[in-house]
Structure 1
Amino acid sequence: MLSTIEQVAEARLVAAAPRMPTIPVTLHYDRQDPFAVRMTFPAPATLAGVEICWTFSRELLSAGLTGAEGQGDVRVRPYGYDRTVLEFHAPEGMAVVHLRSGDVRRFLAATAELVPVGLEHLQLDLDDGLAELMRDAC
């Protein structure tokens, strides 16, 4: 049975230059971390020259398709019907990317097939998680 989803999407990096460069980003979802999604930026697209991965909630990404969401390091909002804007805030600065909303919807639909929204808790092994936390507590 499939346990992860990966989808490459074309993102437009919003920069001070008039032309927004296109970069490939990868959206990831893993049923072992059912509440989260990850977005990976390739090394050539980052200031540090290394691959960067941001993790945030699937619910945030979904809600950001229809309205401005997020108050922390990751913020998501619609930009017209066909674009979704993601803002990534870090001490080094901020990155703003535009994704096609259709790509985001397709990714979220695939994640919902793997783990239906509202049933994420069924994927968690709370006994093992609690045992892991308590192992080093004594």
Structure 2
Amino acid sequence: MDVTFTQVAEVRIIALRDKPVPFRAALRYSSTDPLAVQVILPAEATRGGWPRTWVFARDLLSEGLNKDAGSGSVRIWSCCPSGTVLEFHSAGEILPVQFRTAVLARFLRCSYALVAPGKEDVGGALERSLDSVMRDGPVQRE
């Protein structure tokens, strides 16, 4: 059975010159894509003014809760004892978003309860993705 869950989180964009801007983001995990997590940012959080969805490895999020992690478009680092920053990079934009570490850890625990690490059915997820692309064409994410 395919299960998806979403957790809403109060977060802040960390700006260099301004006071941090609070908003709500969503964390999403789906058993149909068991190796990935999604962070969904609302339009008011992005420079372009449209919602953005970032998809990255669940293992990266786990690693980032223990030490600095990532080197590509998603980087994760601790900013204080109770805060973790997910830093999103795209087309000349860097968007550092601060989450409460406890919120990210709870989200990961819930994802592990759904699909335990090492028990991901990657073959099934790949097959469903290929079927979807063949049927509907590639998915465009902004």
Aligned equivalents of 2:118, 2:111: Cα separation in 1: 12
Aligned equivalents of 1:103, 1:127: Cα separation in 2: 29
Structure 1 residue ranges, 4+ long, deviating more than 3 angstroms after superposition: 126-132
Secondary structure of the corresponding residue to residue 125 of structure 1: helix
Matched, 1:79 2:110: no
Could you give the per-residue CA deviations for residues 30-67 of structure 1, whole angstroms, max 9, x where no partner exists?
Answer: 00000000000001221111111100000000110110
Matched, 1:66 2:53: no
Aligned equivalents of 1:89, 1:130: Cα separation in 2: 25
Secondary structure of the corresponding residue to residue 111 of structure 1: helix
Aligned equivalents of 2:84, 2:126: Cα separation in 1: 38
Question: Post-superposition shift, 1:77?
Answer: 1.3
Letter in 2 for 1:48: G
2:53 corresponding residue in structure 1: 53
Give unmatched runs, 5+ long, in structure 1.
none
Question: Post-superposition shift, 1:129?
Answer: 5.8
1:8 corresponding residue in structure 2: 8
Aligned length: 134
Letter in 2 for 1:27: L
Asked whether the 8 Å contact 2:67–2:77 carries over to 1, the reply is yes
Letter in 1 for 2:73: D
> Structure 2 matches for 1:1-138, cutoff 5 A?
3-120=3-120, 122=121, 124-125=123-124, 128=127, 132=131
Once superposed, what is the RMSD of the aligned Cα atoms? 2.4
TM-score, normalised via structure 1 length: 0.87
User: In percent, how many aligned pairs have the same letter?
Assistant: 35
- Radius of gyration: which is bigger? 1
Q: For the structure 1 residues 123 and 42, does the alpha-carbon distance in structure 2 shift closer, same or farther, using more than 3 Å as the test? A: same
Could you give the per-residue CA deviations for residues 65-123 of structure 1, whole angstroms, max 9, x where no partner exists?
Answer: 11000010000112232111111111131000110000001100100000001111x35
Q: For the structure 1 residues 114 and 49, does the alpha-carbon distance in structure 2 shift closer, same or farther, using more than 3 Å as the test? A: same
